[in-house]
Amino acid sequence: MEREKSDEEMSFPKKPDERILKESLFLKACRRERTDRAPLWLMRQAGRFMKFYRELRAKVSLRELCRRPDLSAEVTVEAVRRLGVDAAIIFSDLLLPVEPLGFRLEYTAGEGPRIHPPLRRASDLARLKNVDVEESLGYVAAAVRRARAALPSDVPLIGFSGAPFTLAAYLIEGGGSRDFVRTKSFMHEEPRAWHRLLRRLSRTAADLLNLQIRAGAQAVQVFDTWAGCLSPDHYRRFVLPHSRALFSRLDSSVPVIHFATNAGGFLEALLEAMPRENVRRPVIGLDWRVDIAQARRRLGRAAVMGNLDPAVLLSPRANIRREAEKVFASAGARPGYIFNLGHGVLPQTPEENVRYLVDVVKEISSGKRK
């Protein structure tokens, strides 16, 4: 494979027209302004369901793909070009801070990420390293710059990071989990160490998000993928203060999306973690377990994003249309709504079904019928 060119060697186009970007459907919806139709993008819109992506992964590992700005940017932009979505999200991995923190990260086929050695005792916190994101994760910023330069001016770019709780859960479990027993046990048995850990992860995540904003991201998303394993009380006691600290450190000039799965019991707490004085344009991402109409009543000042069940994309097209129409019926016509899935596109999803969904969503939300 050809050597990656440095930023200095690249001839980037001029910066996108900020006026055009500001009036994009996605950013207007984040500001809860009226749009001609609902904007849409899809979590994991660049991934294994795409033939282009599978062919690229046959040549390079996920590790290399994430660490090469030229390839990361290419995947980011190609997903927008092939699908016709209204926003891009940088191709990356929320576990990239793991190695700078002092752990070994391994991607195993069929088993997902593995972290060695996992953090299991309070004394293990001594292994945590201070993270200089410019030095250790600068390739993420380089990918953002390249993707931003290659995207059309009316397509905003979203940066992202894992939330403190989800990062902690990965470190403690050593990977994914169904019940998160080790994480919860650590949380209750070692509360002082738990809060020390989440304070560290909060700073690292905020630094990474601000790095992406400085590089050209127009919005950022915080993924608290595993927060739904907690009770509302435990979320408020053990997680909310650290998520709030993360959001308090962010550049206040861009919209911020806060997404957690299975969090219908504490949606208000997700918004409470986003202080008004710092997060001026909050967006709450909803999974398919939440009724959008009820969520909008509960959340008030926030825009909302979601929430088609990704499994629907495995069904016939007639059903995809019906289910998309139900999502819009729940979302209503009030400004401040962004269409998305309730989680990422499943790897086995037919690529043509994803393109069909994009077309259907544009048709339904614009009020036009072919």
The residues annotated with a catalytic role in the active site are: 44, 48, 57, 93, 170
Residues 6+ apart with CB under 8 A from 351: 49, 50, 51
- Distance from C-alpha of 67 to C-alpha of 71, rounded to nearest angstrom: 8
Cβ atoms of residues 158 and 200 within 8 Å? no
- Distance from C-alpha of 316 to C-alpha of 320, rounded to nearest angstrom: 6
Task: Tell me how far apart the terminal alpha carbons of the chain are, to the nearest angstrom.
Answer: 45
Helix ranges, the chain (H): 18-22, 25-30, 51-57, 62-67, 69-83, 133-136, 138-150, 164-173, 181-189, 191-215, 232-238, 240-248, 267-272, 292-299, 317-331, 351-366
The answer, yes or no, to whether the previous bond of 307 is cis (omega within 30 of 0) is yes
Helix (H, G, I), strand (E, B) or coil at 220: strand
- Distance from C-alpha of 359 to C-alpha of 353, rounded to nearest angstrom: 10
Burial of 329 (0-12, 13-18, 19+ CB in 10 A): exposed
The answer, yes or no, to whether the previous bond of 117 is cis (omega within 30 of 0) is yes
Burial of 42 (0-12, 13-18, 19+ CB in 10 A): buried
Identify the sign of the CA torsion 217, 203, 66, 26: negative
Identify the sign of the CA torsion 146, 151, 152, 157: negative
Cβ atoms of residues 212 and 90 within 8 Å? yes
Cβ atoms of residues 166 and 151 within 8 Å? no
